[in-house]
Structure formats: structure tokens, C-alpha cells
Structure 1
């Protein structure tokens, strides 16, 4: 069986690296590296959007949530589904704008200060997201080879692979690797979910073996940290703490906007979102279901101590050898893909929004490509450092989602849909949302908050501060110019 896993992982790894090497030969200019030469057709966009969105956040953090709370874990992906409905109308506008990064948009609609602050918020959030992809990938390798690869060594190996493959060809490499990965994961999950349900004895047996709360809309969200059941409103707030950050990350996600900037046309961008909606609904529901079925099959033992590992653990122990190896391989590939996307995205910020914008405006394409690859390596090392010291993937995910959701999404949506939000309103919102998120868990802050507030995640305080600052400061500062508004108009 170990030989089978080695073969599957070797085929996947060699295939992904081959794609990266091939696409490297096609990269000649800054646009080739950062936005794939603006050449991606709708079908490639669908699969790369789907694959970049569903990574360790779903396969590990979302699965951990499902292991603990049952089908109530769907609150988390539901935020993405709601976001996608709005993105359907944003996508053509984003492609029409056709720049390189989200801070390009922030400067065009607001000012340079918004661009710089937005760049820092993206760096913190996306390197955090990359870090737990590395950690999840390390868990997968440890589960496959428990005697030879520790979780930490696996983290280092995954990080090295992602950094090298991403540095080679940029967006071109990332997008075309996603085509193969997205297809593989979807097919395997469609096959694995019903098989595991049968292994668990069907729906009747599932209801018998799992707590009743696992089939309710709030799961265990009403249980506080002391094990005491609270009123329904407590559970709803907890559910929203999963839904809202996911919704807002989806709406303001720079990875998504970069891929819209990479589309062949506005029509391709809009069509890709329709396919993305269907794919996300199906795949994320299957992931939650597989985790719940795994909880019924393995309620105790090693995986109960590390519930984030339930999907790879179930693949290793609950599926036939070939199917299990393919599912593990698919998880492995998914983690690599998402890590590549979220590592590459902030690297483009350092290049386009710092290096080219302020340090070397006249840099040649050759120099930009060299510095771009160096930026990928440096940010990858920072993400690896965070991965080594992060314990909970679920908590790391919520922190990264929150800093992005509060600091950037309100001003991005305002850029497309508000004519009254001003440059300094946006600056205040980005700064306020970032500051609240970064300081929320500091002891000096935490110990001076009422207990009912201190035990909550940062998303609502950070979001409220950001939106209030954006509105109030905009009321007392000059309105945007017609030129600023025209760039993002219909």
C-alpha cells in the first residue's frame, strides 16, 4: 500500500513540476508572469478559481469544524456561496479595469496611501493563509509515511516544493496546474462521499452513531468554552463568525481579482463565475459530508486528538487502497495549489505595488522577473516560519480571513458600488480594520474587555470599526473626482 501512495504522489508531483517548467518557457514579460498574459479562457478560469479557493481552509479547517459540529460546518462555505452571487456582477467590471493587483485598484479609486496600507494588509493575510497550507500538507505526508516523515519535516518538504514551482512561472504556472488539480479533486470527492456513507451504515446508522446536534443548523455552536449550553443567539453569532469572514474574503479576494485580470475577455470572466458557483456548492458540501462520515467511522483515537486530519485519515483508513491513495493525492495537490496561489499573490504586491511603483519604475522585464522570483522565495520562508509555530489551522484561518475581510473588502466593494466613499475614508477603514485584528488577542487588550466580548473572534469588532471609520471620515472629506469614479464604472 505504501508503494501505491508513493507512486500516486510521485506522479502528481512530477506532473505539477512539469507544468511549471513548461509554462516557465512561455514567460517572457511582466504581464506573462503576473497575469498569464491576460490569456486565460473561461474553462481554465473556472478550475483555477475553484482550486485556489478550496484548499487547507476547507480540507483541514472546514473538516475540523465538521468533525466537531457536524453539518453546521456548512456555515463556513455558505459565506463563499453568498459572495459568489455578488461576484457574478463584479467580474466583468474587474476584467474591464485590467490591472495587475488589488492595490492598483485602490490607488486608482482612492490614493497612494490606500495602496500602501492595502499592500500590508494583503501581506499579513495571504502569508498567513499560505502558512496553514504548508502545515496541512505536512500533516498529509506524515499520515502517508508515519514512520519516515514527521509532520514538521512534511511541512518543510511541501514548502520547498511550492516555493520552487511558484517562483518558476508565476500565474501561468499556477493557473494551469489548477486545471488538473481541480478536475482530480472533484471526481474523487464525488466517488468517495457515497462510499463512506455506505461504510458508516447509511443515513439511519449515521443518525444513531452521531450526536443529534450534528444534524441541526447550529451544531455545537451554542456550547460555550465551559461546556454550558447558551441561548440560540449565541449559536447564531458563532455561525456568523464563520460565515462573515468567508463571505468578505470571497468578495475582496485579490487572488480572484488577479484571475479576472488574467481573463481573455469580460465575457470569459463572467462565465467563469457561473461555473465556479456550481463547483463550489458541490465540492464544499462533499468535503463537509466526508468529514462528518469520517467522524462516525473514527470517533476516537489519534484523529480525535487532531480532528483537522479527518479527511486524509479517512482516505488512508476508510477507503479502498486505490481510491484512498487518489483522495490523499488530491488533498496533497489541493494544498499545493492553494499555497501557490496565496504565495504568488502577495509576491505580485511586493513587485507591482512596491518595487516597480516606488523603487525601480523603469525596471526591465528581465529584472522584474528576477525580483519577482526572489519575492516568492522570501515570502515562502516567512510563511514556513508561521507554519512551524501555528498549532490550530482553524484559528489561523479565521485570523487571516478576518484581517483581510475587515481591512480590505469594505473599501473594495465601495470602489465598485459607492460614489461617496472618499480616499481618506478608505485609508481610515483599512488602517482601523488591520489594527483591531492585529491587537484583538493581545493580553493588554483582551484583559480589559468584558468577558462576553473577549471570548468572541475579532471579525465583528474589526469590521464595525472599519465600516464606521469609512463612513464617518468620508462625510468630512472631499468627494472622489469624476476621473476616479469613471475607471470602475459600468
Structure 2
């Protein structure tokens, strides 16, 4: 345990809590829309930062590092590639998403498919996003336990409390601004760490030469099907991630939404490439690391980086995890409020009441996520499960809303139900045959159900697609 690391981590947490307290003031936060969309007036640079920090969390800093440590930097390109590919698609959909300005993804689905599809979608998002929040708690616990006397369980509980406070206090205002600060910290830390770690090995040539044999191959020893099983869940989640859609809705206008997506694309490379290099370098410097989840973080905790840079790296990693967790808690709290409560009330819910109810929903999400995290020992394992259930059940229907006018309610519903059922059977009944991630079989089933169900039934009349 290095005192500098502890001081920097404490300083970061104090700063985040201060931002949350500042934006919790009534002058900033008055209605449910303020809580979920920051009044739809986020500056462009803050929007870029919050898009980046929302997406890059424990799944990248911990789960992605595990993959790069185990299979090498080249194979990790397949793991991370879903992010830039998905952002390119979002770039072309950004203006339309801002114009639609829906509260949640199920809200968007109802416009096209009706209430039944909305409710199925809301349940699926609830399951997936609580899982994603859970592995943010676990990832944050790893970091805190590395540099403090706290056990992983105690550290996870501490992170859960901090995250919950930030999400409940200032809503999207505090989440977006803490995201922006976190993005600056992690980018500086990662870019400063790469040359220092490569220097500790010797030179770039020494780094490449000393990688384990399979880590020097393009596949990392995995089959093409296995690589696809890691690539698809990330891609499918980002294509229809409710978090990102809500941030684009929080933009000032449609032009800001699209230009912010371009900045998000550029920033993703600045994060992913250094993580792949650092995690694979850890396989050389720390070849017997017991927990590959901590591949990047151990470079700091084991003293392989100067104390100040290591502290920034740990703080930046924790920053992204904390901000990603707050984002998902805020988002799925919105599902509880708007999809399960407001949608079924006969009378209008006033803005202040929505604010109070949204905060209560976030508290419920925090408790459920903490409990779920106790059943998954690996961040990477929980990450792939959560991404896949979202990707096979939600993404095909959402993309069809945006890009395929022939899609029908029957097709969307069949896609959601059969995709999810296939995932559950493959993972929990059959035990993942041939070590293929469930997305390999669940996605084709979901897509076939969407297309076949749509072609065999009649689309809703155009006049019914508009919300009342």
C-alpha cells in the first residue's frame, strides 16, 4: 500500500462527492427531466466526456484488461473492435435520436410496436443493466482493495455507497460532469503510463519479443468462433445502449449530438489501445498474476509505475468505473419510473414527484446490483452475460425501429423472447457447449425471429406509430 495512491484515491472520491453535492441543489435540479437529461443543455465537450466515461468502465479497465493479459494485444483488438464500429453507426443515428427525445428505449419501442413490446423490453433492460451495474461495483472494489487494507468485499460495499450517492444526488448533471473530469484523468494517466511500462521492459521490440507465444498471434489461441463470441456482445450493446441514447437526447440540439459522437469515436481509441498495451505488458512484468482482472491496475499497485502516475491510473480507473455505474443506475432507474410506473398511471405525475420517485428507483437498483454481484466471481464473466442478454433481446428491435420500416410487432416480440430463451438455455441448461459464448447462437435466433415474424405479419399502420 503506497500512501500517495491512497491520498490520490481519497482526493478523487472527495472531488466526485463535491460535484454530486453541488448539482443536488434545488436551483440546478427541479424536475424529472433535469434528473434524467440535465435539462437537455449539456455543453459539447462535457457530452463527449460523458459518452466516453459512460461506455468505458469496469468492462474495459478490468474485463478488457483480463482479456488482453490472457490472449494478447492483437486478439484484444477483436474484443474492443465492437466499440468503434458501433460508434460509427451511432454517428448516423445521433440526429434522429436527439429529435425523437424518448425517455427510455422501451418508450421508443412502444412508438413502433405497442405496449406489449415496451414491457418485455423494460424487463430485459432491467436484468441487463442491473448486471452491468453489479460488475462496476466489483471492478471498483478491486481497485480500492489493491491500495487499502480493505478486503474486496468491504471495498465493493464502499464503492457501491459512493456510486449510489452520486446517482441519487445530482442525477445527469452530477453524472455528466463527473464523467468529464474522469475522462480527463484516465486519458492523462494511460498516455503517461504506456512509455513508462514499455521502458520497464526495455524497448518496443523487447515488449513484442517477450510476449507469451500465443499472445503474439492475431487470435491469441482462440478460434474464430470464440473471437466472434467476444466481439459481438460489445458491439450489440453499444448499438442500442440506452445510456448513450439518453446522453444524445441530453445534447443541446441535433448537430451537437452528432459532433459529440465523432469526439466519442476519437476518444475511444485513446482509451482502448493503451489498455491493450498495458495489460499485455503486465503478462511480461507480472507473469504469475493471480487475478488477470487486475492486469492494468497491478502495474500501479506493484510499484512498476512512479507513485504519482500510478495513483492517477488507479484514480482514473476508479473514476470510469464509478461514473459508468452511476450512469447505468440512473438509466435503469428511469425504466422503473417511466416504463413501470408513469406509463400505467391514469393521471400525470408532476416533475418534482418524478424527481423523488426516480431517486427511490435508483436506491432499489443499487441494492439489487450489489446482491447480484455476489454470485459472479469474475467481472469478465458477468460482463459478457449482461452484454449478451441486452444485445440479443433489445438491439435487433431498436435498430429495426431506426432503419427497417417493414418490421412488425410480432417480429420484434418473437426476436426478444426467442433470443433471450436461447441465451438462457445455452448458458444455464446446456452449460455453454464448445465454450462458445451464447451470443453465437442466440443472435442468429433473434435475427431470424425478427425477420420471419415481420415478413409473415402485417406492419402497424403508419398513423399508429406516432405516440398519443
TM superposition score category, shorter chain reference: over 0.9
Alpha carbons 1:155, 1:387 under 8 Å: kept: no
Deviations 1:184-238 (A, max 9, x none): 11111111111101111112222332223212210121xxxxxxxxxxxxx1111
More deviation in 241-250 or 431-440?
431-440
Structure-1 separation of matches of 2:464 and 2:231: 32
More deviation in 472-481 or 38-47?
472-481
Corresponding position of 1:242: 230
Deviations 1:107-138 (A, max 9, x none): 01111111111111111111101111101111
Structure-1 separation of matches of 2:402 and 2:463: 14
Structure-1 separation of matches of 2:346 and 2:399: 31
Structure-2 separation of matches of 1:340 and 1:360: 30
Corresponding position of 2:39: 37
1:164 has 2:172 as partner: no
Structure-1 separation of matches of 2:142 and 2:48: 28
366, 380, 383: which is aligned to 1:397? Answer: 383
Paired residues, what number? 463
Corresponding position of 2:441: 461
Corresponding position of 2:353: 367
139, 161, 164: which is aligned to 2:142? Answer: 139
1:353 has 2:339 as partner: yes
Alpha carbons 1:68, 1:220 under 8 Å: kept: no
Structure-1 separation of matches of 2:423 and 2:252: 37
Structure-2 separation of matches of 1:463 and 1:291: 30
Shift in Å, 1:321 = 0.8
Listed as ranges, the matches of 1:52-91 within 5 Å are 52-71=54-73, 72-91=75-94
Listed as ranges, the matches of 1:438-477 within 5 Å are 438-443=424-429, 445-446=430-431, 451-452=433-434, 455-477=435-457
Structure-2 separation of matches of 1:76 and 1:484: 40
1:252 has 2:254 as partner: no
Shift in Å, 1:485 = 5.7
Corresponding position of 1:229: none
Deviations 1:141-198 (A, max 9, x none): 11101xx200010000000111111011211111111010011111111111111011
Task: Look up the SS of the partner of 2:81 in the other structure.
Answer: helix
Structure-2 separation of matches of 1:484 and 1:458: 35
Shift in Å, 1:360 = 6.3
Deviations 1:273-310 (A, max 9, x none): 1101110012111111110111111101xxx2211111
Corresponding position of 2:203: 202
Structure-1 separation of matches of 2:268 and 2:400: 25
Corresponding position of 1:230: none
Alpha carbons 2:103, 2:338 under 8 Å: kept: yes
TM-score normalised over the length of structure 2 = 0.96
Shift in Å, 1:86 = 1.1
Structure-2 separation of matches of 1:463 and 1:480: 25
Task: Look up the SS of the partner of 1:245 in the other structure.
Answer: helix
In structure 2, the gaps of 5 or more residues are none
Task: Look up the SS of the partner of 2:374 in the other structure.
Answer: helix
Question: Compared with structure 1, are the counterparts of its residues 313 and 372 closer, same or farther at alpha carbon in structure 2 (3 Å cutoff)?
Answer: same
Deviations 1:335-381 (A, max 9, x none): 10111111111110001111111146422222211111111111111
Report runs of 4+ in structure 1 exceeding 3 Å deviation.
483-487
414, 418, 430: which is aligned to 2:416? Answer: 430
Alpha carbons 1:420, 1:480 under 8 Å: kept: no
Alpha carbons 2:107, 2:339 under 8 Å: kept: yes
Shift in Å, 1:106 = 0.3
Corresponding position of 2:292: 307
Deviations 1:63-89 (A, max 9, x none): 000111011112111011111111110
Structure-1 separation of matches of 2:464 and 2:230: 34
Alpha carbons 2:32, 2:358 under 8 Å: kept: no
Corresponding position of 2:48: 46
267, 271, 295: which is aligned to 1:283? Answer: 271
Alpha carbons 1:24, 1:169 under 8 Å: kept: yes
Structure-1 separation of matches of 2:463 and 2:250: 24
1:380 has 2:382 as partner: no
113, 116, 122: which is aligned to 1:113? Answer: 116
Task: Look up the SS of the partner of 2:427 in the other structure.
Answer: coil
Task: Look up the SS of the partner of 1:305 in the other structure.
Answer: coil
Corresponding position of 2:260: 272
Shift in Å, 1:7 = 1.8
Corresponding position of 2:12: 12
Alpha carbons 1:88, 1:274 under 8 Å: kept: yes
Corresponding position of 1:224: none
Corresponding position of 1:124: 127
Alpha carbons 1:79, 1:247 under 8 Å: kept: yes
Structure-2 separation of matches of 1:338 and 1:133: 7
Shift in Å, 1:328 = 0.7
Alpha carbons 2:8, 2:315 under 8 Å: kept: yes
Structure-2 separation of matches of 1:164 and 1:359: 28
95, 102, 116: which is aligned to 1:99? Answer: 102
Alpha carbons 1:419, 1:480 under 8 Å: kept: no
TM-score normalised over the length of structure 1 = 0.92
